[in-house]
């Protein structure tokens, strides 16, 4: 494990099983349907039980009839998982021509915005888009670490009530003290450790 500190937020990488993380929120690398899939998404749904699928179906019925857009995030309860919440985000799919790094970075910052609003103090991420969506894990690691560090270090600007400034204020006031990347392989862990060490 290697960790780094961005503002008051500790950032670390471990090899492990995201579904067993005892944190306030885990992040699901979902697809736009929010109704389960393969990889991390399938594992989270299987471990969480039917409550998670029911919560996702309710989101689709009410707030997200067209599905969750790429780069955005939304939260549900966590069903039978040890976490309190699941924050679902949709990573860009390189195989479908979604190659904009800003979309991938947004998965991490929007997930943290959602977790901060929930009151989460600890958040665990997978390597979003590094699996079947075809992004190189080193690129994911570099973008993810930079996004989380930037999110943690964004100051609020007094008197500024634009949406970006409000988000920055929420970040500055958030209690998120730990962001943990939970990786599925030694190679992925090594990529994230390298990104963390790069400062």
User: 147-151: long-range contacts (C-beta < 8 A, 24 or more apart)?
Assistant: 147/105, 147/106, 147/108, 147/109, 148/6, 148/9, 148/11, 148/108, 148/109, 148/112, 148/179, 149/4, 149/6, 149/11, 150/109, 151/6, 151/108, 151/109, 151/112, 151/113
Tell if the pTM clears 0.85, that is, is over it.
yes
Residues 29-70: tens digit of each pLDDT: 999 999 998 899 999 999 999 999 999 999 999 999 999 999
pLDDT of amino acid 8: 78
Residues 128-140: tens digit of each pLDDT: 999 899 999 999 9
Q: Of residues 13 and 37, which shows the higher confidence score? A: 13
* Level-2 CATH architecture, domain 2-197: 3-Layer(aba) Sandwich (3.40)
pLDDT of amino acid 167: 53
Q: Delimit the domains of the chain by residue range.
A: 2-197
The set of catalytic residues is 41
């Amino acid at each position: 494990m290697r960790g780094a500190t961005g503002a008051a937020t500790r950032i670390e990488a471990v090899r492990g099983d995201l579904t067993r993380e005892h944190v306030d929120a885990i992040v699901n690398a979902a697809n736009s349907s929010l109704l389960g899939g393969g990889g991390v998404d399938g594992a989270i749904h299987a471990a969480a039980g039917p409550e998670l699928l029911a919560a996702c179906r309710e989101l689709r019925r009410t707030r997200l009839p067209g599905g969750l857009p790429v780069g955005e995030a939304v939260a549900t309860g966590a069903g039978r998982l040890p976490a309190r919440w699941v924050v679902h985000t949709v990573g860009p799919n390189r195989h479908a021509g979604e190659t904009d790094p800003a979309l991938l970075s947004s998965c991490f910052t929007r997930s943290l915005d959602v977790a901060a609003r929930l009151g989460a103090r600890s958040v665990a991420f997978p390597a979003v888009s590094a699996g079947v969506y075809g992004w190189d894990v080193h690129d994911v690691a570099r973008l993810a670490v930079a996004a989380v560090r930037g999110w943690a270090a964004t100051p609020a600007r007094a008197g500024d009530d634009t949406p970006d400034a409000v988000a920055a204020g929420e970040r500055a006031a958030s209690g998120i003290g730990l962001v943990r990347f939970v990786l599925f392989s030694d190679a992925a862990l090594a990529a994230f450790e390298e990104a963390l060490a790069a400062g």
